[in-house]
Amino acid sequence: MSSLAVSEFWEEFKKQYPDAGDKYLAWSFGGTADQADQLSALVIAGKKTATASLYQLYRWTNEPIPKVGDYNIILDGHQSPICVIRTTKIDVIPFADVTAEHAKLEGEGDLSLDYWREVHWEFFSEEAEAANHHFFETDLIVCETFELLWAAK
């Protein structure tokens, strides 16, 4: 990712949202370029308004947990900026307690909780394993809801 491309993207965004300030994170969904492309396309299409992440990952990477009002530049599979989202809600709950409503808001697959659990179990298990941790249904998940504010033309 070119930090210049991201900062220029942010400056373009601020022309419509001048009160946004200068604090944002730039990141992509998923663990592969294909996932980043697929999931960011769902955001642009208005079908994906939520995401989930492994709580422990923030501790392992020394990153702050998302909070309401955060701005994020979403990157595609080529690490190019494509849109800006703002966090509207955060819930930190055990994996086993993630709701069908949250699964639906994530906009993936058939929108069911069963689908969500299947793909996220695999994803979170791989992330945990990379950190020498075993993933359990009791592990905390950061469930984040967001709104799409602006997309690249």
Give pLDDT tens digits for 84-143: 999 999 999 999 999 999 999 999 999 999 999 999 999 999 999 999 999 999 999 999
Q: DSSP 3-state assignment of 120? A: helix
Residue found by looking up tokens 């994020």 in the block: 72
First-to-last C-alpha distance (Å) of the chain: 19
Does the pLDDT at position 22 exceed 80?
yes
d(CA 133, CA 66): 22
Sheet holding 50-54, edge to edge: 25-27, 71-75, 81-94, 140-151, 50-54
Structure tokens at 99: 């709701």
Residue 36 confidence class, pLDDT cut points 50, 70, 90: very high
Residue-level pLDDT at 2: 61
pLDDT average, residue stretch 59-80:
95
Average pLDDT over residues 16-34: 94
* Alpha-helical segments (H) within the chain: 3-16, 33-44, 55-61, 100-106, 113-130
Which residues of the chain form beta strands (DSSP E)?
25-27, 50-54, 71-75, 81-94, 140-151
* CATH number of this structure's domain 3-151: 3.10.400.10
